[in-house]
Each structure stands twice: as C-alpha cells, then as structure tokens.
Structure 1
Amino acid sequence: MMTGNFSKRVLMATTGLALATGFSGVAQAQTEESAEDGNVIIVTAQKREENVQEVPISITAIGGDELVSKGISDVTKLDAAVPGLSISKSGSDARPSVRGVRTVEVDLFNDPTIGFFVDGVYKARTSQALAAFVDLERVEVLRGPQGTLYGRNTYGGSIGAISKKPQFDFGAEGNVTYGNFNDLRLEGIVNVPVGDNTAFRVVGVYQESDGYVNVLPSRDPAANTAQDFNDNDQIYVRGSFRHDFDVGEIIVRVSHWDQEGFGAGGFGYTTVGTLQDAAGNLDVGGTLNRTNPRTRSFPGPSDVDPYNVYRNTDLDRDIEETTANMEVNLELGGVILRSISAWSDFQAVRIGDEDFSDSAQGSILTLDTDSETISQEFQLVSDHGGPFTWVVGGYYFSENGSEDFIFLNEVSGGAFTFLQEVDTDSYAVFAQGDYAFGEQFKITVGGRYTVDDKRFRFRTPTSQATPDSDSSDSFDKFTWKVGAEFTPTPDNLIYASVSTGFRSGGANNQFAPTPNYGPQTITAYEIGSKNTFANGQGVANISFFYNDMNDILSNTFVQVGPSLVVARSNGGSSRAYGAELELAYDFDNGFKVDANFSYLNAKFQTFTASAPSGYGLFTGFDVVPGTTNLLDLSGNEVPISPTFTGSIGASYEFDLGGSGTLTPAVQFFFSDSYFVNEFNYDAGIQGRDVGKQGSYTKTDASLTWMDASERFMLQAFVRNLEDEAVLNAGVIGGQGAIFQNYAPPRTYGVRAGFKF
C-alpha cells in the first residue's frame, strides 16, 4: 500500500469525489459534444474529423462509454476489443504487439515500436502508456506503420487516447469500484462552464489494491517474507481549460500521475528454472529443471506457480509523471491551423529482488529512469470543398533522459552500476493529399522526412576501471504512403495502400562489440473494405496485410561482473501477413453483438542471435558456421504472434419500466498458442507453460442496472472468468534462469456511479 503522503492523498481523492457529489444536487443534465453517434464514431486518425467507416486504414475506435462498460481502465485491457492486438506488461512497461511487430527493448537507449499518444502528444517511454484511462472521448488504435502523419516510432502502429473536452453545461460524475485483492478505485469528474464560451473540467482517480502475486512464507529461518506484489496504487488528476472564440478554440490540459506500492520490480518477472539436458547441462533445446540457478538463491524452486512465489525482499515502485499541453485550432477561411505544444516530466524508480528467492542475503536491482520531453507540432489542414484535400505540417520533439542501473550484492556489499543518458532532438516535415476523381474514386499520396539527432553518454564508477563512453549519431529517413479507395455506394468502401515506417536507431554501451545500431524499417501492403448496412445498424470491415520488416534488432548478452549487459545490432528481417475482420450489429431492440477475428503468420526470414548466457548446448538449433554460440533462428515464429485470435461480445438491455434497465453483457476472447521468445523453446512440461503459451480462452461478464433517468448505475463484473494465467513475456537471463511474466488472474467486483 501507499506510504509517506498516504493520508494527504486519501484526503485529496476523497475531497475531489465529495466535491463532485456536492455539486450534483443542483446540477442540470450535462450535454456533451460526443464523438459517438449511434454506431458511428468520429475519429482524427488522418488529422481531420472523419467517420471511422470512411477512413481508408485499419483503425479500431472505441468510444468512451464502451471503454467504461467493458472495464478498459488502462491500455493493457484493449486486446479483446482490437483484432490482432496483444498488450502485455512487464514490471511497469507496456509491451504491445500487432501484425508481427512486438515490443522488446524498453530501456532509455531505445524508442517504442508502437507509438502511444495522448491528445495528439507522443509518449517517449512505454511506462507512460499505463496512466489511468479515465474520462476519455475515445481510443483510436491504428494497425500498421503510420510513418507519414505520425512519424518515427510508429513502426507497427499507434494507440491514441483522446480525453473529453470541457463542455459548456455544468456536469458532475462519480464512480466507486471495489473488487477482489481489496481493489478500491474512486473516480470524480466536475465540468464547470464560465459564461457561454469558457469551461473547466477536472478529473481525479484514486486507486489502491493488494498485490495479486502471493509471497509464500520464507523457507529460510534467517530471512524475512516479502510483501505480496503486482498491486496498483495510484493517483491521477487532470485539469482542462477550454475557450472558444470567433475563429477557433484553445484547450489547455495539465495532469499528474503518481503510482506507488510494491509494483513488480524492474521487469516484473517470476523465474521458473533452467533448460537442461538429461545430464543436467544447460541446453536451449532441453526440458525444464525448476531449481532456481540464481547466485545465493535458496535451494529449490523459487516460484510455485505464476501467482505464488518465494521472496525475502520487498519490491518497490515510485512513478510520477507531470504533463502540460496546449492545443489551438484556428479556422482561417478554408484552412484550419492547429498547434499542439506539450511538456512532460516522467520519473520512475523500481526496485526488485534479483535472486528471485527467499534467501537471507542476495542481490537487489534498482532501476531509476528520468525523461523530460517537449514537443511542438503545427498542422495546416484544408477545410474547403473541391476534389483536393490536404494536410501539411512540421514537428519537433526533444527528450533529455537518464537511466541509472544499480545491482547490489548484499553479501559482499559491492555493486555493479552504470548510468546511461540520451539527448534526442527530432525534426520532421510532412504532407499528405487526397484527390477525388468524381464521387467514387480517390487517391492518396503522402510523405514525411525525419531527422533524429541523438547524443549518448554511458558512465560507470571509476572503481570498476571501465572507461566512460560518449557518442552521437544522426538518423534520417523519408517515409511515404500511396493509397487508393473506391466507394461503390455511400455505405461501402474498398481501399488499398502501400506505406512505410521506421523505428529510430540507438546506441550500445562500451561493453558491446558495436557502438551504435541503425533504424529498423518496414514496408506494409494492405487491401481492405469497410461496409455499413441495415441503415447503419451493422458494420463489417475486413483487411488483408503483408508487412516486410528489415534491420530488426538482435540481442547479444555480454557478461560484465555479476550482471548481463545487452548489446544490440540490426540482426535480420521478418515478414508477417494475415487478415482481420470486425463485425458489429445493433438489433435496435436492446440486443447488440460485436466480434473481431485475426489470422497472422509472422516469421523471421533471416535472423541470428547469440545463445543465452551460460548455455553451451543447442539441441535442435543451427549454429552459424565459424561461431560457437551464434544461433540461426531464421524461420522461427515471431514471439507474441498467435496464428488465430478472436473475440465475440453480446449484450441485451431489458427494460424494467420505471425502474430503469438491466443489461447483462459477455465478452469471449480466444487466442491460439504463441511463443514468448525468439528462440521458440518449449520445455514440454504438462500444465506449466514455459516459453510457449498454449491456446486459451478468457471471458469477461457484467450485469449493469441503470435507473430510468440514466443518472445512477450499479454494475457487477468478472474479468478472466477462467482464471487463466496468461504467459505474456519471457527471457533467459544470467545463470541460465528463465524469467516469465503473466497477466492478472481472475478479478471481480462491483461498481456504482452517478452522472448529472
């Protein structure tokens, strides 16, 4: 649980919710400018407001009400609602995967492979994607590279969260949720108009929960028993200001996110043992030996199962993010000038028990990350009639970041430490135009030129007799898109496109054989169709894609002192192809259904990686000629890429007359099996997924009562009804230990709310 300023924070959260409740007694019904209109959602994926069914790209838009009803309170819960999307979490980092593009490297010297945006502002660190989803107008998930309008590091796609604007009518909302693991979440929203064209909106979230990973009593008489971990203790506050004037509007948003508790350490892994042959030698192609090999660990297994482990040292987490952004929209006679200015300060300290055991003395890892960013984007968007529409713009982004790595040996008192720092300045200009040949045919051409200037510094203590290193590099890339669309009827759209994207390059430390590595590139081909039928009650969208990815990163582990240091290089290529289908139908009698399905074939074409540290046997693997431990993984499946996934949801609203409505809802999700590591190892232990997650299902259900005035609601819910321990990340680390991370177990609870 939270410590330190806990009482003050409880008071702040309670006061905020009480403020919302106090205003509700005299409030009138709030009228909001919603992006939802029946089954239609207006999106800004192409920098202008458009019906999602008229946008010729693969995009899933989820409205704010649907986010709430489906219990999507953070980015990791989007997977069942978006075809082909997987979002895992390790430690405090989100790791999205889509269409054969996965998130592996999350340290400061690397950028995301899938961009995350809040109100059009790019987030540089994957941990920043885990801030609370609250009071959102919608979420837009774009699949495939977005190298033209969004740019660098949208290599695999982008996820955009758009918050609700302040409205010009008074309103207040409040919600209380309580579930297992003593999970308490309070939400409060107050919207206050000032005159006819100015308004303020304040949103607050307070949440505290126990950890769902249970720490068992220590087997070592000299050791303590650590606290349960993987809790969720956080406070989030966002204030917004809006002023409309004759030719436009200005919106200012300020937010603060504070997440504490025990978290899940630096990377959040449990350890399951090592891979060995029959004689007990470390063998990447072997079977599982569950003994924990970590130095100074207590003899025997450290993890009984994904949610019951042995630890003697408390984990710790302290994450803070403060942001401010200003958006200005000006209507200038046929064009719209948009300016988005943003600043953020992100800090994260994570402490983990690195021997993964209940030994009295062991090793502790502290990971301290700081990232301060500023960005400025200008867009000029056509807003006139005629066959030609366009958008042009310029973008600047700067990040000053540092990351301190401290590995402490509790026995000797010694430490292995290093500090890495990066300063990034990114510049880009972009343009995209559409030309319509009559009512039915349109072509799209776009391009973006990006320059990333990066300066890297790597520092180690002088006692380690290791020289510091400084380097700099510049990465520039022109990315483009060409597309065509055909509209045979107002309700049907057929489109095709070829687009490119890139992920910026980075640097290694001085232990690596190569100092820097270059960008990763992707060329994506897509054909799709969007269809609306039954007077807008039904939607059927389908897309076929092929991704060609080059210069993807390969990891080599260099043993330095008691720890492994990762060295990266552009090690190969991969390709992915498949199809995605989205369906929805509103029967207009209270019954609604929706479904999505995905087929994916993602494999490495040419890819090599060094064998994990300590492993000298590679049964079933091909060793690159002339080397002793470089493995050829060409033809292996890309991790976190299940062949088939699907989701089917249904709800029915029963009219209770003057008593309101009662709505049962269910969402059923299915995933085929997948590997979690590029080595594609499978330890073959019945009932114990190691390296490979088997096929599974996950069912969410809810029962919601809404009063006749639609002002009060009460909901009971259950998530992951099957209580499936879903394996979502896995690596092999020092001493050959296999570290794995799992999604949450079954959760359930009740939620009550009001809205005026």
Structure 2
Amino acid sequence: MQTNMKFGSRILLGTAASLVPLCWSMGALAQEAPEADQSASGGLADIVVTAQKRAENLQKVPASVTALGSDALETRQIDSISGLQAEVPSLVVGEFYGTSLITLRGISTGLTSGAEDPSVATHINGVYQPRSRSVDSAMADLERVEVLSGPQGTLYGRNATGGVVNYVLKRPTNSFESEVTGRIGNYSRYGIQGRVTGPISDDVRILVSGIYDNQHKGYTKNLHPNAPRSRLDSGRSAGGRLAVDIGSKDGINVALEAIYLDTRTVPVAESFAAPDSPSLIAFLGQQSFVPRKTYSELPAFTRSKYLQTSATINVPITDNVSLKSITGYQTFKDHMLIDLDTSGVASGPTDQKIDSKSFTQEFDFNAETLDGRLKSIVGLFYFHDDFVSNSSTPFSVPGFAATFDTYGKMPSKSYSAFTDHTFSVTDRLRLQFGIRYNKDEKKATQSLIVNGAPACPLMTNKREWDAWTPRVGAQYDVEDNVMLYGQWSKGFKAGGFTANSCYNGFDPESIKGPEIGIKTKLFDNRVRFNLAGYYYNISNLQVQKVVDVGNFFTLNAAKAEIYGAEFSLSALLADRLQLDASGMVQSAKYSNFQNCNEAAFPGACGAFDPRPAADRQTDVSGNWLNRAAPYSLNVGLQYSFEMSGGAEFLLRGDTYFSGKVHFSEFPSDQAIQKAYSLQNAFVTYTTASKQFTLRGYIKNIANVDYKVSHFFNSAVRQAIGNYGTPRTFGMDATVRF
C-alpha cells in the first residue's frame, strides 16, 4: 500500500515537474504569431462549455473536460453513450440487460438491480437522471455533450464520484428551420427523425422533434430449435421532444421542455463457460460458448417508458448578477422478462417491473464582483425519488425448486447547499474554493416471499447520511495560450438498500485526491493539447455480489487507490486535414478488500457454506477494479475537400485501443476481456447549399468480439454476460428546408 502511494505521488510530481519546461517551450512556440480570429486563420473552433455552471471556453476550465458538438457526433455516428467510449479518455461503458454501466477514471458501479445510484452522474439540460436506462433519451437532439472526469462533489453533489456527463439539447431558433433524416443499416436497421423550429411571436420560440429507430434483426442468433425468437439483442425506440423558449435576450427567459421515449428490446445473455457442476451441465443441456450465439426458450423482452418535463428560468438581476431555477420531473416505467441460464431449459426466468417518479429543484445564484475578479456561484438542490419494484422468479434445478417473489418500495430524498468561487489574484493567477453540504435520506420497505411463505416479512428500514465535499485549486496562465492548473476535491456517493434483496443496506462511498494539468492552444490555434494527472483514494467502494440462487446484495470494499494520466489532442495538420487523439494510462486497484468468492465451488458464500466465517474471505487487495482499463488510446484522422460546384466530401477514420479489462475482483478467464482494438470509417457528402447531407459508416470493421459485461449467475453456477456491438454499416440522409 505504501509503495503504491509513493508511486502514485511520483506520477503526479513527475507530471508536474515535466509540465513547467514543457509549457514554457510550447508557450514560446505559440507566441511566434499572435492568435488571430479563427474565422480568418482557419484554426480550431473554440469550444464553449458550462462545466462549472457558467459559460466558459473549454481551455479556461481548470479540469479535464471532453466536449463534442453536434457536427462531431453526427460525423462519427455517436447515437448512444457507449459510442462516447472511444472519444473520452478513461471512459468505459458496459451494458447488462439495458443498464448502462459507466466507468470514468476507474470509478464505476456494477450495481444492476435498478434502485442504486450511479457513480457517474448524468444530466439532461441540467436535470439529474437517477435511472441509468434513461440516458440515451437525449442522443437524438443533441447540441453537445460534455464529460467531466474525476469527482465533482462540489458543483454536482451526490453520485458524481467518477465524474459527470452533461447532455445539452438543441434550443428553439429565432428563424424557421426544419430537417428530416432517414437511415438504413445492416441487421435490418431503419429509422427516421426530424425537427422543426422557429419563432411563433417576437418573444416565443418553439422546437418539435421526433425519432423512430428500429434494429429489427438482433445481433445474436438463438440456436434453440423451437425458439420463440430466432434473433436476440434487437431493439426499437420511438419518442419526441417539445421545447419552448419564452422571453427576450435581455430579460427573463423561460425554457420549457418535455421529452418522451418508448423503448423495446429483446435482451440477451451469453455463456462464457460451462457450469462448474456436472449435474447442472446435464440439466441445462446443450449450450453455446461462441460469441453472439446462445440458447433461449423464453420470449424475453424489455419495455421502458421515459418522460421528463422541465422548466429552466433565467433571471438577470443586474449586468453581473443572475439567478437560475431548474425544475425537473421524471417518470420511468420498465417491464422486463429475462432469461439468465442461456440454455433451452426454463431454470429461472425473471419477470420484473419498475416504476419510478423523480422530482428535482435547483437554484443557482451567479455573480461577478470586484470588477469581475471574483466569480461566484451559490446554489441549493433538492431531489426526491419514489422507486417501486416487483419481481417473480420461478426457479427450478435438480434437487431444488421454488418461486421467489420480491417487493421493494424505496423512496429517497436529498438536500444540499453549495458555493464555489474563482478569484483572480492577478491577470494570470486564479484561485478556486468551493464546498457543498449534502444530506440524504433513504427508506426501504421490502419483502421476499418463497413459495408463498414470507422468508423476509414486509419490513421498513431507514438510513440517513450527510457529507461535506470541498474543492480547492489554482490555475496560472504561463502564457496567453498555456494554462497550468491543480486542484484537490472530494466526492460522495450515497448509501442505500439493494432492490430485490432481504433488507440489504450498504454504506456511502467517498473519494478524494488531487488533479493537476496543462491546457494549451498552439501555432495560431491550430493545435490544442491538454494533459492531466490524478491520484485518488476511495473508501467504502460499493460492490455488487450474488450468492445462493441469485440473491443480490451490496457490500463495501474498504479501500481502493487510483492514479494515472490522460491527454487529448486536436491538430490541423494542413488545411482541411485534422488529427484527433486521446488516451490514458492508470492503475486502479483495491488496496484493502476481503471478500468471499462465490465462484470458488458450489455452495461457497451461501447459507450452507461449510467453512468457518473466517475462512470464507479471500484477500483481493492489489486486484484491479471492475471495468478499469490500464490504458486506452483513440486516434482519428479527418480530411475534407471541396468539389466543383461547392459540394464537400469529408472522410474520417478512427482506431481505438483498450487494455485488459477485469469484470470481477476475482481474476478468471471468463471475467476478463483481453486487450483489443476497434476501427471505424466514415464518409459525409454535403451539397453546396447545405440543404442535403449524405453519410455512410462502417464500425468495428474487423468484427471484433469483445466483452462489455460479466455476471456470475450463482443460480446455475455459470459465468454469463454480453459482447459489444459487432460490425455495423449503413447510411443516413438529411434534408433541410
């Protein structure tokens, strides 16, 4: 442990030491010519983000932020959060039965029962998203997406220990605009989306959009001879959005919004290895261990309905003082019937329903004082969530049969107050200080019925926590286009109760540590290079566990340690030729964790484990955290050229490399994805009038098989999970009016 801490400290100190001469030399190069207006010089476009809850140039934000605008998202065909994995250093996205498992800088959650909080907070137009299955609802109408890496406890509060993903959607325009996009692709994919926007009076603007997307043919073949569905892992989504802006540019502005998305999928689980019990092997019969081939006798499905309504009110009090109110209300309903045994035998199908209603209210008071030298924000936040789940699992294996019915009603509340300040000591030196107080309350009324008898009678439990999450930092402009920064911050993730369990409560987790970095704009803004190093200590990391016949519960790992470095680069190598690259190296390991390995042998860790309690624990200290890659690298090259008549072609190629990923604290071949790489290619044609755009793409060109999730199904003693998207190709066409 001490050696790792010293090594992590050396990485940060070494990075800091190397930044000083680097920034001076790069700064000198940057000053060979004064920075010109980008429209005149043809340099990289400036990126404005709201990462610190106020509009700022990306290069002035003292934190690691990745931002992608709508043009980049459309060119690279990013239509889900998993598509961001190759664009954001240290981002890993897994999926299991529709649940997105997001990891940033090695910090993630493997909790999939539905009620637990994420480690990476997601917001849509400033509204917090408590359910991970709702995050892709924003992808169809994006203006940009911002990803903040590392703990963001001060400005974003609870459940941002790994970072924050902010989706910023398009707003209504002052002039009439409309467009329609149609798409087709392999696996019988087809869809259409459209948008109409414009003013309906001097002070009222409106936007209406809709989307329908259908991947009719699933990625996975069902080998069962009498299968109700021959293809699995297909999906269909349909929805729309209404946005209304009321008010003038200089007065009070009210932004109203409603988003609805109806999603249906045919879920799949695939076997990574045979069960470890001969009797179960014989009982389950024929299985496939080939990627994207499985057996299922069940007409499995998931159906979710998501609705978000919100109102954002901006009130300019003076030229330098403003007040913002963000009110959000969400409903999320999900019904799924899933098959976990990957065979033709009905050993334990699960039918689960979730009903969630959430309300959020945030007030942000922004001010600039002392002639603009002090920029301050003071805020209040309230969150209320009502979550209800019901599940039924008729379970049957040789020697044991029972029906498990669970019920859980888990309301939660969160209150917080925060403040954050940036003070300009000189024109080049700025200091930051912020702090947040957070209080959480959670209740759980749960029951477990086995064969009609109460194994866990209906009972209510309640727990409360509070936490202070400060940050302190400084940034210094070595040159006009070279900025050094450093900060220390703390994050907090609430504890809770595991859904579908027997009164399982778990404690909050916390993270703290420093980040240092450099941000540069060089060669007349033709090169943008950012580098950051980080070191974190995590306490009470929440880890999911499954024992006996599929009983879920959550335990807290004592300590974990993460340190690493990440970079991003954008460079105009020549007119119309752009290079993009990003990557990271890191160590993310448990530093103190004792746990029982359910996969060791049948009956391990369960009620009938014959070993004394002290002998059940295995020391996994030093093992890798789940879904934390040791390195990743993404390189993209993009070239555009103009044809006669003014039409434009754009060609782009990307390649992404990922190091080995562990899905469990207990290393095994089934719970590891070896290092792999993916390649993508894109082409875009736009007419001179900009009224028509045609795009083509091919992703995962080599059709690489790679795991994105792992789950040890203790009920049938088998490792199962999901593979990433295979080779896909297609095209879309956009017509603008």
TM > 0.5: yes
1:610 to 590, 596, 617: 596
Residue of structure 2 aligned with 1:377, choices 322, 340, 362: 362
Change (3 A) 1:108 1:601: same
Deviation at 1:217, TM superposition (A): 4.0
Deviation at 1:555, TM superposition (A): 4.1
Query: Which of these residues, 650, 653, 661, is aligned with residue 663 of structure 1?
Result: 650
**CA deviations over 1:433-460 (Å, ceiling 9, x no partner):** 1111110111100000011111111023
Distance 1:364 1:511, change over 3 A: closer
Which residue pairs with 2:479 in the alignment?
A: 489
Amino acid across the alignment from 1:65: D
Give the C-alpha shift of residue 566 in structure 1: 2.0
Post-superposition CA distance 1:257-302 (Å, at most 9, x none): 000142x1xxx531223475xxxxx6xxxxxxxx8947952x13x2
Q: Work out whether residues 520 and 551 of structure 1, in 8 Å CA contact, stay in contact via their aligned partners in 2.
A: yes
Residue 505 (1) aligns with residue 505 (2) = no
Q: Where does residue 456 of structure 1 map in the other structure?
A: 444
Are the structure 2 counterparts of residues 640 and 51 from structure 1 closer, same or farther at C-alpha, using a change threshold of 3 Å?
A: same
User: Which of structure 1's runs of 4+ aligned residues deviate more than 6 A?
Assistant: 410-413
**What is the aligned partner in structure 1 of residue 632 from structure 2?**
645
Relative distance call for 1:401 and 1:172 in structure 2 (3 A) is: same
Give the whole-Å Cα distance in 2 for the aligned partners of 1:37 and 1:293: 63
1:514-536 CA-to-partner distances (Å, cap 9, x unmatched) read 85221100002100000001222
- Cα deviation for residue 313 of structure 1 reads 1.3
Q: Where do 1:146-165 residues align within 5 Å?
A: 146-165=152-171
Alignment TM-score, normalising by the size of structure 2: 0.89
Q: Quick check: 1:39–1:537 contact (8 Å CA) kept in 2?
A: no
- Does the Cα contact within 8 Å between 2:406 and 2:501 map onto a contact in 1? no
Residues 198 and 610 (structure 1), Cα distance of their counterparts in 2 relative to 1, 3 Å cut: same
Q: Secondary structure at the match of 2:664?
A: coil
SS at match of 1:465: strand
Q: Is the 8 A contact 2:190 2:214 kept in 1?
A: yes
Judge conservation of contact 1:598–1:645 (CA < 8 Å) in 2: yes
CA contact (8 A) 1:108 1:401 kept: no
Letter of the 2:363 counterpart: F
Aligned counterpart, 1:27: none
Which of the residues 227, 231, 234 maps onto 1:228?
A: 231
Residues 1:257 and 2:261 are matched in the alignment: yes
State the one-letter code of the partner of 2:641: F
Q: Is the 8 Å Cα contact of residues 213 and 306 (structure 1) preserved in structure 2?
A: no
Tell me how far 1:244 sits from its aligned partner. Answer: 2.1
SS at match of 2:701: coil
Matched-pair contact (CA < 8 Å) for 1:216–1:225: no
Q: Tell me, yes or no, if structure 1 residue 630 matches structure 2 residue 617.
A: yes
Structure 1 residues 146-185: Cα deviation after superposition (integer angstroms, max 9, x where no partner):
1001000001101110001111100011111100001112
Counterpart in the other structure of 1:438: 426
Amino acid at match of 1:387: R
Residue 631 of structure 1: how far off its partner (Å)? 1.6
Counterpart position of 2:454 = 465
Q: Measure the CA separation in 2 of the matches of 1:406 and 1:377.
A: 38
Q: Can you list the C-alpha shifts for 1:297-326, whole angstroms capped at 9, x where unaligned?
A: 2x13x2241211111111111100011000
* Residue in structure 2 matched with residue 247 of structure 1 by the alignment: 251
Residues 295 and 142 (structure 1), Cα distance of their counterparts in 2 relative to 1, 3 Å cut: farther
Deviation at 1:612, TM superposition (A): 1.1
Give structure 1 stretches of 5+ with no counterpart.
Answer: 1-35, 277-281, 283-290, 683-689
* 2:734 counterpart letter in structure 1: G
Flag the 1:132–1:271 CA change in 2: closer, same or farther, 3 A. farther
CA distance in 1 between partners of 2:209 and 2:279 (Å): 46
Match runs of 1:320-719 below 5 Å: 320-333=305-318, 334-359=320-345, 361-383=346-368, 385-409=371-395, 415-461=403-449, 463-466=452-455, 467-508=457-498, 515-559=504-548, 563-587=549-573, 589-612=575-598, 615=601, 627-658=614-645, 660-682=647-669, 690-719=670-699
More displaced stretch, 145-154 vs 89-98: 89-98
Q: Deviations over 1:106-159 (max 9, x none)?
A: 324411111011001100011111325022111000000110010000011011
Check whether the contact 2:180–2:192 (CA below 8 A) recurs between aligned residues.
yes
Among 218, 224, 228, the residue aligned to 2:224: 218
- TM-score, normalization by structure 1: 0.87
Q: 1 CA distance for matches of 2:391 and 2:674? A: 34
**Which amino acid in 1 is paired with 2:679?**
T
Alpha carbons 2:115, 2:387 under 8 Å: kept: no
1:739 matched residue in structure 2: 720
Q: In terms of mean alpha carbon deviation, does 394-403 or 672-681 score higher?
A: 672-681
Q: Counterparts of 1:292 and 1:694 in 2: how far apart (Å)?
A: 31
AA aligned to 1:70 is R
Size of the aligned set, in residue pairs, is 683
User: Is the contact between residue 147 and residue 155 of structure 1 (CA under 8 Å) also seen in structure 2?
Assistant: yes
What per-residue deviation string (whole Å, max 9, x for no partner) do you get for residues 378-413 of structure 1? Answer: 000014533111000100000000111211248999
Task: Flag the 1:511–1:436 CA change in 2: closer, same or farther, 3 A.
Answer: closer
Q: Matched residue of 2:356: which SS? A: strand
State the SS of the aligned residue for 1:657: coil
Distance 1:80 1:624 in 2: 45
- Rounded Cα–Cα distance in structure 2 between residues aligned with 1:464 and 1:626: 28
TM-superposed deviation, 1:741 = 1.3
Distance in 1 separating the partners of 2:394 and 2:701: 40
Residue of structure 2 aligned with 1:209, choices 188, 193, 215: 215
Q: What is the aligned partner in structure 2 of residue 54 from structure 1?
A: 60
Structure 1 counterpart of 2:82: 76
User: In structure 2, how many angstroms separate the alpha carbons of the residues matched to 1:420 and 1:175?
Assistant: 42
Q: How far apart, in 1, do the equivalents of 2:599 and 2:704 lie?
A: 31
Question: Residues 616 and 629 of structure 1 are in contact (CA less than 8 Å); yes or no, is this contact kept in structure 2?
Answer: no
- Superposed CA deviations along residues 85-118 of structure 1, whole A, max 9, x for unmatched, are 1112111111111112122013244111110110
In 1: Cα distance, 2:182 partner to 2:461 partner: 51
How many angstroms apart in 1 are the aligned matches of 2:377 and 2:575? 41
Aligned partners of 1:652, 1:554: CA distance in 2, in Å? 45
8 Å CA contact retained: 1:610, 1:630: yes
> Closer, same or farther in 2 for the Cα pair 1:700/1:556, shift >3 Å?
closer
Q: Percent identity?
A: 24
SS at match of 1:232: strand
Provide the C-alpha distance between the structure 2 equivalents of 1:696 and 1:354, rounded to a whole number of angstroms: 27
Q: Name the SS of the counterpart of 1:681 in structure 2.
A: coil
Q: Using the TM superposition, give the Cα deviation of residue 569 of structure 1 relative to its aligned residue in structure 2, in angstroms.
A: 2.5
Secondary structure of the equivalent of 1:149?
Answer: helix
| In structure 2, C-alpha distance between the alignment counterparts of 1:181 and 1:134, rounded to whole Å | 20
Paired amino acid for 2:564? G
AA in 1 matched with 2:261: W
Q: Helix, strand or coil: the match of 2:233? A: coil
Match of 1:31 in 2: none
| Structure 1 residue 725, shift from structure 2 partner | 1.4
Amino acid corresponding to residue 651 of structure 1 in structure 2: Q
**Which residue is equivalent to 2:51?**
45
Equivalent residues of 1:202, 1:238 under 8 A apart: yes
Structure 2 unmatched runs, 5+: 1-41, 605-609
Whether the 8 Å CA contact 2:707–2:723 is kept in 1: the answer is yes
Q: CA deviation at 1:611?
A: 1.5
1:624–1:332 distance in 2 versus 1, CA, 3 Å: farther
> Within 5 A, what are the aligned runs for 1:46-195?
46-195=52-201
Aligned to 1:10: none
- Decide whether the 8 Å contact of 1:295 with 1:355 is kept in 2: no
Q: CA deviation at 1:551?
A: 0.8
